[in-house]
Structure 1
């Protein structure tokens, strides 16, 4: 390739100008239209062709020599044998035929949760699912680790979830109209660096600054002061983690007791308030959910709770609910209580008021733009109807044929013999990784499409090396960002790495379904097919897009914002009969007869406080907040230069309050052991008064680096907090993850163990 200075690429954390020389990338410069570019992207440059790069197909030694099911206990420890693509394709094709012929397609799990690529065509999961559907289908997953409890409860209460999340009242409306912005879980700018499908313009920092300059008063309700940027001048309330629901109920009770609720809104736009009110007052259980009741649970003064409730009805108030609030025990209740609180305030559907689900959870929330109707790569029809909630993967592997409940259904876990992952990393997302690793030994075959030797690749049997966006052509195009961008192939991939579509096309050829998979189209023809149909759909909504050739010529295209600031549920507010919600009543359901019919003792039919499985109210330990990282997206680019620069000794950083550190003899920069009954991990201490006493904070995403200590207990040397988190469903309703309900202890580390997460496995020749 000749030297280039006009190349473009896009990722979930930004768009970049790319320069090359002598076939290598020399720089990645942020897109000039981005006022707040993320530093994450260029962190890929030193690892594109580094020692962790997977350059050839590889098969775990025991699996290759002894066949499927051989020594699953050695996954993550054993050497790999590199093979040719022809042999890899034959091995995968034969194994798929064996499993579906003997056990049926339901024995194939290809849920493959993860973020994959920003490119519309080279989206790993879409290509995987399209391929497996061509050979009979697979057991899939539903919902996300991000907000599973919200995905299930909010449709029962408000009719939909995703349309509400991604159509939040715009920041323009907040800046112009809001008086008080109450942020449960904060407005974390580090999360706002990223968005699904690519980012052309980061908006969250400028939006918060503009709101503060316009006089919007922020209240940060979080154990972490940094969850709202310093420039916002936020009031910081730091309740005990996992007590958000109790705090909201105390606010609701104050409004009701002092006659401050909006009775007209409740009568016209909601149903079931009388039954919720009976719970608030204690009529149903003898316990009034007053500010005085909530105060000792939350460890906040009762007068502070009452004062906040009164301020919420004095002006225009926006209630923001972080996605993290769903990731606690009974996370359904936090979202439902927030909806009830917003309903009592009565400003849903008004400019600058109401509720928003996760401002700055990703960059797209609060974006004010005409929504692009997206066309994706067709995945075909899955002939297998079985699925599992995504956070119940370990249960599925441990308990084939076992019964469980989910959203009113009585279901049975499938008997999975083959797992295929492409574009994600379960050894990042899942909880109680030591337990999951034991369950991971049970499938007969694990296949992974990966570009680097992370924990997923090391725990697979067959590893298929794939490319990264800088090594292929695509289009960055999403309905959540106003910028479209061409994605240029800047460099050739190292070794024999292939695009995911090419990987599946080769296996499809070996199985006799190549025509069904490719439909006779080349990758370039698929890109054009996707773009042209998106352009046609956009034209039907009066959104004008350039032709693909024109886009490639000029590089980027911006979709203009809507003329008026967007207000969520404005139509419902104006005419609830003409624009009803998709609930049984057409209204906001503060009591659900449907959920009442399920009879779940862990999910009542109205917002309620249920004690978490683990929390500070039990009087022991420290509460671990394993939140999203600032130097990467989940675990992506954990080995990159930018992320490595944030932890010079190679361990993840654990922040704790000086009082908690002093009580344990811990100093700033000390090497720590963080532990509970589920496992341990190593960390580096960072003392901060911006963390609530009794709480420690440690970001997720460190590559899982398993080891055992001197007593034989399993843990992670690198600092992955998911060796500590509890793998339990939020309730039988949503079965979501509860990573944020986790108690740990911390001590000085004297093990002498050193992290080595970025070392590739041993690669041996056949027979050695």
Structure 2
């Protein structure tokens, strides 16, 4: 108790934090960050909020009936028990599942954003623990850019090399004359960075480019997805039609002879096939600007003019990550690379193409690497995996086969889900389908600091300390600041760290030494720091010793990158500097992908009509295309109960942006409470109007904690404004099986009933044994494994 202050790091920045009575009362940016993210203010008042989980809790039905599929997850009250009782229950259940069904029946769920700390990193902790006890089924790729992760290696070879080599903002300011930003350059996303950000510079570099005379053109449904300081032109095309526009621009360059003949002939393979497709020789449809204008709902002349400008000067095409989070999202990146290859600036400073320039802070500001050591994951004894966004498919279809990147895999029969870090009831699509799937496992175990929607759908919940209540250090990917994370508050009595829970479970299951290696948490933090010192020393970077580092609080590591811009050496001499693709060149046609035989992802960039878009028959019933964007006021769903997050809502509900015409057509005005719905679900939100959003588009941020009017009931109205009750849960294609959150049509209507209260930030009903409502533990669960 009393007053404390110190430094911390998060995925949205580094801060100086002051606490009183173990509650945060003040958050300030550090001296090195001239533009700290306001998201840090969500810490204020959050640690002792009523949503805080203070004791282990078990779902009443699970405690009464034992493990097994249940229709009551999300609806049952919870029984609070002691820490040792919870450890015994979980250890016993892990032992039962691995003994009867094998370790493949355990799914290790985590999405990595739980903490910026190098040691107290939720994903690392749960995966190390599960490997220590024999393994688990894992997920691969990310919700952020799954389609890109799979398709880029087929097109350009080594993905990491490509992302490290893409031209940087300082080079754009010096060399580039035109930036064509498909999907825009949203500033909200540059607040955040995996592993932390010491100084926010991305937005400043964007502004510096505009001041240097770089012209920006935003191609997308939202003008507001670029800052006013960029003075960007806006082409408000229909969502999901970027590929058609890129193909038409490429057709213009081809037919007018404005394309870079040398580059496509000497540095690429498959251009002849792509050219035949553009001319219509393959499918009978020429990809002309007139053809694209009908699809994209933009003027034919605007497409032609932009294509000519792209080829006439040093130009850069940028693609947001959002463009591959849609049906056939692989095609967006493939078409963009093909267009850039033709435009003439590939391999030249400031030119070519890059992804995610404003999708994350680290995108093309510094070199993309992190010297920080990570907690070793131990040997992976179970090879089974699923693509990260196919969780519902896995739980609903055990034993069923699925395609992924040229191979046929099989969904395991999952009996136990162990989830630490991340919230699938935030980031997964079609939450009503997920809710149905979530009832299938025997047991769901969760670690959470707060009673969010993930915790409320678990069988056994361990309360855990937040990053402000433990010691660690952070170093973000592509960020130069190594930052100490001080313990500035003490967790509530009985609340411990993920590591302490896993250490106790590992001891009960005979893997204690393998998991801990005899180290305490703080000894591991020091060990990982020393390993980081060794890594940096190998790069001729000297770091202070650990105790000095803790005193200093932060150290800037030089992020040198002297390598040439992507494809520069390929342009110079394709034979001497091949890529790691099968041909050694950019593959505008991939024999490998074509050989997979996927009907939804051919071996070259092409227009494939998405499952839902404004040009589809479904638009007659649901005439608004919903874009579920990263919020301005938080990272994903973290600290949704914090003050900045709540200030961004209206009447405690998320706000949905509409064009004034769309609102007027429905008799809606600013501040109206509306029901947003489609065939998958419905939620409430509050209308806010924007001329910067094209007609026919709605925009609803992600991250509001799922808050159904009837908990546990599939199809129940979400009261809080979570867009993922509406989004479509299919894969981008058989190639990547990525998420398609932006492939979503909805309708909006005035909500006329009595508004139900928002209860997202309230705990569930909690029972304390002994109680008539809390019966004895099921006999099968009484055995202690200590």
Query: 1:82-101 CA distances to partner (integer Å, 9 max, x unpaired)?
Result: 11111111111110010011
1:35 deviates by 2.0
Listed one character per residue, the Cα deviations across residues 702-736 of structure 1 (whole Å, up to 9, x for unaligned) are 10011259x99423110000001111111111111
Aligned to 2:327: 329
**Aligned equivalents of 2:368, 2:396: Cα separation in 1:** 46
Q: What's the counterpart of residue 394 of structure 1? A: 392
Determine the structure 1 residue equivalent to 2:481.
Answer: 483
Question: 1: CA distance between counterparts of 2:164 and 2:426?
Answer: 25
Quick one: which of 714, 717, 740 aligns to 2:716?
714
Alpha-carbon contact 1:369-1:560 (below 8 Å) kept: no
1:698 corresponds in structure 2 to 700
Q: 1:715 to 1:569 in 2, by over 3 A?
A: farther
Q: 2:518 aligns with which of 517, 520, 536?
A: 520
Q: Does 2:447 match 1:444?
A: no
- The whole-number CA distance in structure 2 between the counterparts of 1:204 and 1:143 is 25
User: Structure 1 residue 54 and structure 2 residue 57: aligned?
Assistant: no
List alignment gaps of at least 5 residues for structure 1: none
The corresponding residue for 2:354 is 356
- Cα distance between partner residues in 2 of 1:757 and 1:212: 42
Asked whether the equivalents of residues 616 and 623 of structure 1 are also in contact (C-alpha less than 8 Å), the reply is yes
| Residue in 2 that maps onto 1:84 | 82
Single out whichever of 428-437 and 15-24 deviates more from structure 2. Answer: 15-24
Superposed counterparts of 1:743-762, under 5 Å: 743-752=745-754, 753-762=756-765
Indicate the residue corresponding to 1:541 in structure 2. 539
Q: 1:627 to 1:504 in 2, by over 3 A?
A: same
Distance of 1:727 and 1:534 partners within structure 2: 40
Change (3 A) 1:166 1:75: farther
- Which residue does 1:567 correspond to in 2? 565
With over 3 angstroms needed to count, the CA separation of the structure-2 counterparts of 1:478 and 1:688, relative to structure 1, is closer
2:43 aligned with 1:44: yes
Displacement of 1:131 in angstroms is 0.5
Aligned equivalents of 2:247 and 2:287: distance in 1?
6
Mapped partners of 1:51, 1:221: distance in 2: 44
1:155-234, aligned counterparts within 5 Å?
A: 155-234=153-232
For residues 182-331 of structure 1, the aligned pairs below 5 Å read: 182-331=180-329
Deviation at 1:142, TM superposition (A): 0.7
Map 1:422-461 onto structure 2 (within 5 A).
422-461=420-459
How many angstroms does 1:284 deviate by?
1.1
Q: How many Å apart are 1:701 and its aligned residue?
A: 0.8
1:29 aligned residue:
28
Q: 1:716 is paired with a residue of what secondary structure?
A: coil
Write out aligned runs for 1:38-187 (5 A). Answer: 38-69=37-68, 72-187=70-185
Among 652, 655, 662, which residue is 2:654 paired with? 652
Aligned-partner SS, 1:634: coil
- Deviation for aligned residue 1:111: 3.3
Instruction: Report the number of matched residues.
Output: 765
Q: Deviations over 1:599-651 (max 9, x none)?
A: 11111110000001000012421100111111010111111110101113011
Alpha-carbon distance between aligned partners in 1 of 2:597 and 2:20, rounded to the nearest angstrom: 65
SS of 1:754's partner is: coil
Q: Distance between the aligned counterparts of 2:273 and 2:438, measured in 1?
A: 45
Match of 1:662 in 2: 664
Q: Which residue of 2 aligns with 1:555?
A: 553
SS state of the match for residue 71, structure 2? helix
**Does the 8 A contact of 1:168 with 1:365 survive in 2?**
no
Q: 2:708·2:719 contact (CA, 8 Å) conserved in 1?
A: yes
Q: Does the 8 A contact of 1:173 with 1:352 survive in 2? A: yes
Asked if 2 retains the 8 angstrom alpha-carbon contact of 1:368 and 1:566, the reply is: no
How much does 1:583 deviate?
0.8
Displacement after TM superposition at 1:267 (Å): 1.6
Distance 1:532 1:566, change over 3 A: farther
Given the superposition, is the C-alpha separation of residues 455 and 24 from structure 1 closer, same or farther in structure 2, using an over 3 Å criterion?
closer
2:626 is matched with 624
Contact 2:263 2:571 survives alignment (8 Å): no
How high is the TM-score relative to the length of structure 1? 0.97
| Kept in 2: contact 1:75–1:441 (CA 8 A) | yes
Which is further off, 311-320 or 40-49?
A: 40-49
Q: Are the aligned partners of 1:166 and 1:365 in contact in 2 as well (CA < 8 Å)?
A: no
Q: Alpha carbons of 1:602 and 1:135: their partners in 2 closer, same or farther (altered >3 Å)?
A: same
Deviation at 1:757, TM superposition (A): 0.8
Task: Call closer, same or farther: CA 1:117–1:573 in 2, change over 3 Å.
Answer: farther
* Cα distance in 1 between the residues matched to 2:666 and 2:312: 45
Paired with 1:370 and 1:731, the residues of 2 have a C-alpha distance of: 28
Q: Are the counterparts in 2 of residues 114 and 425 from structure 1 also a CA contact under 8 Å?
A: no
- List runs of 5+ in structure 2 lacking aligned partners: 774-786
SS at match of 1:173: helix
Aligned to 1:676: 678
Return the alpha-carbon distance in structure 1 between the equivalents of residues 404 and 563 of structure 2.
38
